[in-house]
Chain A
């Protein structure tokens, strides 16, 4: 099993968010989690990425034969986990290019791979940016600073394509995107899909899933997965909403 979440319960500030949640993802699979506001979707994404604000009450998570709780935030990233943020953080003064260069080399170092030099990295970045329709001038700017909502999401996908993760978690990547931007972003994701990597896509709407075809769709309500199945569930939700699952 690539990612195995067993009986996971999590709280924050005395509020239980995830309740005995179970989820298995195999290599090469695309899973979508849909759910109403406040159901715990983003909490799950943050817990997987290692955000330290949460208290783990119960359960375990295995990722690529590692106990995930043994790994800190950066070790998870270096092991191949990637979270595309719902609200990417603006970091004025931190230039995109050296930041991403440093990020890719930290992963390579952990994998005992040779570090990528400046020139090769510049070429890689330019080519990936071009694929995503990102202007080269944008790469001279500070991380997410002064970006529009769409630019931020596109830049998340650029980072993902550079870091080439084994498991990518997309936390409401479709929110705030117009239809053209959504297409560019989802095209970027589809290009990255291989039999060796997996995706966990968190969304409210079926629209995103029209572009990225999931193998499994899960409905999350009140901190637990209440139903799992195929794409037909997304269509069901689009038609009837989440009411019937609550």
Chain B
């Protein structure tokens, strides 16, 4: 089935299909799919994947009977279960949760940082069937944990979420993706940080081999705001983590970190793209991967410094350990600098585990497997020890132990 037929056949289930402006936008996207030759060499969203598998899907979406649970179990702390991309409405003095609205869609579709180039984002806009909006009200400091649940096999979730941190607010957000269904989640998070706000965003991904997870995040930071994203990918199924960030006002910061642990024939694709559009901003992009068996990974990092963005600091680092001769990790750091007073760097180191270090540890009586495990743990030690959330730290440690137990 081609994409247009698929869209037309399912139009009644797709959000906002009665809205003329949105329809016009979607017609444009359909054209892109019909005319694009899907140039794998030049389009980073196509690397290492068979897009056909994602285009020729059977559209199936299930409206959950019970949508979600929100529990203000401690002061300033919320727990949300998002079922098939839905979350019920909630409002108090600190936060407000609503269904995704047409205006949120329009707001995003005008942003040309991602539009057209990223086919998964285009698919998300075309087949949108779920999503929510969370507003953190001014000067509040809160914690939210979201468990993302898929209830059935063969579901295709196209979800847009909108997070707004109002001025002076602070959000600690933990998102868990642990799905065992044969299904696909294509999620777009649009995050807006107003002046002097802060968002620490943790994503734990641990899906079974049948579940495909595609997460794209777009963040924009206003004056004195900070966005931090830490992704921990333990999934046995395909995962894509793409992040597009814009530092739009002075003295804002973005810190994008990811660690992935993959094995078997699994693939993960990762991208971070930071646009410095104002002066005195900082960005940090660090991804580390451990790859076993015949697994494959990509990581594209990109820093764009606009000519007005003087006093920029932008750092990129990519590191990988290949535990098997058949594993591969493609990393491509890029810097485009149009300002003259900046500090920027990038680096990439990928290779097998250090045999000299293994020999050193074994020469002290440690077995080869124990030495390998200790070196893997040490490779990510800096990132793990910097987790200041005890609950998160425990979860990650347990998953790491599970991954290491399968390393031979």
Q: Interface residues, chain A, CB within 8 Å of chain B?
A: 49-52, 72-74, 76-78, 82-83, 85, 88-89, 91-94, 99-100, 102-104, 106-107, 110, 142-143, 159, 163
Contact = CB atoms under 8 A, between A and B. Distances in A.
Minimum-distance CB pairs A-B, first 4: A93-B378, A93-B381, A73-B362, A106-B365
Interface in B342-391: 354, 356-357, 359-368, 370, 374-375, 377-382
Contacts of B370: 102
Contact of B364 (A51, A92, A103, A110): A103
Nearest to B358: A73
Contacts of A88: 360
Given A89-B356, A89-B357, A91-B357, A77 B378 contact: no
A77 B381 contact: no
Contacts of B354: 89
Nearest to B376: A93
Contacts of A106: 365-367
Nearest to A74: B362
Nearest to A77: B365
A91 B375 contact: yes
Nearest to B354: A89
A92 B364 CA distance: 17
Q: Which of B354, B365, B380 has the most CB of A within 10 A?
A: B365
Contact of A94 (B363, B367, B378, B380): B378
7 contacts: A49-B363, A51-B359, A74-B366, A85-B363, A89-B354, A93-B382, A106-B365
Interface of B: 354, 356-357, 359-368, 370, 374-375, 377-382
Contact of A91 (B363, B367, B378): B378
B365 A163 contact: yes
Contacts of A50: 362-363
A107 B363 CA distance: 11
B374 A99 contact: yes
A106 B377 CA distance: 19
B356 to A, nearest CB: 5
Contacts of B366: 74, 99, 102-103, 106
A163 B364 contact: yes
Contacts of A107: 365
A99 B361 contact: yes
Contacts of A99: 361, 364, 366, 374
A13 B62 CA distance: 63
Nearest to B382: A93
A72 B378 CA distance: 24
Given A74-B368, A89-B356, A89-B357, A83 B378 contact: no
Contacts of A159: 364
Contacts of B360: 85, 88-89, 91, 143
Contacts of B380: 93
Contact of B363 (A73, A93, A102, A142): A73
B361 A91 contact: yes
Contacts of B368: 72-74
Nearest to A85: B360
B359 to A, nearest CB: 6
A230 B357 CA distance: 36
A76 B362 CA distance: 9
Contacts of B364: 77, 99-100, 103, 159, 163
B261 to A, nearest CB: 16
Nearest to A88: B360
Nearest to B364: A103
B367 A74 contact: yes
Nearest to B359: A51
A216 B176 CA distance: 66
Q: Which of B354, B364, B370, B382 has the most CB of A within 10 A?
A: B364
A103 B374 CA distance: 12
Contacts of A143: 360
A92 B362 contact: no
B382 A77 contact: no
A142 B377 CA distance: 13
A83 B363 contact: yes
Nearest to A91: B357
Contacts of A89: 354, 356-357, 359-360
Given A72-B368, A74-B363, A93-B379, 9 more contacts: A50-B363, A73-B363, A76-B363, A83-B363, A89-B354, A91-B375, A110-B365, A143-B360, A163-B364
A99 B377 CA distance: 12
A78 B359 CA distance: 14
